[in-house]
Amino acid sequence: MPLLPAARPAIALFTGLAVVTALRPAPSMTVYVVLWAFTAMLASGAGRRIGLGIAALTWALADGFIENRYGQLSWHGPSDLILLTVLTGTALVVSTHETPAPASAPKELSWRI
């Protein structure tokens, strides 16, 4: 059963918090790469609006818990702009990718009761 697109932002938020918590002692570039891959995975085929929401949530997690440690959101200039651009671009590219629908059974094989 495919993941409902409306549930993806909530999954992004809670799983992103778990990833940030688990990788906190790691160098920050490792955490950014994991969050980037995470954004791409969740935004894949979800549609533009949901993909942008996932990118915004991922940026907020990175800004609030990686850069500031206590969940405070603040603007750090060019580094935040680069991160936001990369996450948004990734979400837009992968969210417009459509997976083909599975083929349905031919009508002559359909059963009637």
pLDDT above 90 covers what percent of the chain? Answer: 0
24 falls within a domain: no
> Given this model, what pLDDT does residue 107 score?
56
Please tell me which residue, 67 or 106, carries the higher pLDDT value. 67
Residue 11 lies in a domain: no
- Whether 43 is in a domain gets the answer yes
What is the reported pLDDT for 77? Answer: 81
Total number of domains constituting the chain: 1
pLDDT at position 20 over 80: no
Residue 68 belongs to domain spanning: 30-98
Q: Is 113 within the bounds of a domain?
A: no
The verdict on residue 70 lying in a domain is yes
49 in a structural domain: yes
**How large a percentage of the chain has pLDDT more than 70?**
73
Query: Does any domain span residue 3?
Result: no
Question: Is the pLDDT at 91 greater than 70, yes or no?
Answer: yes
Count other C-beta atoms under 10 Å from residue 56's C-beta. 17
HSE toward the beta carbon, residue 9, CA cutoff 13 A = 14
Angstrom distances, CA of residue 38 to CA of 13, 48, 87, 90, 106: 11, 16, 10, 11, 37
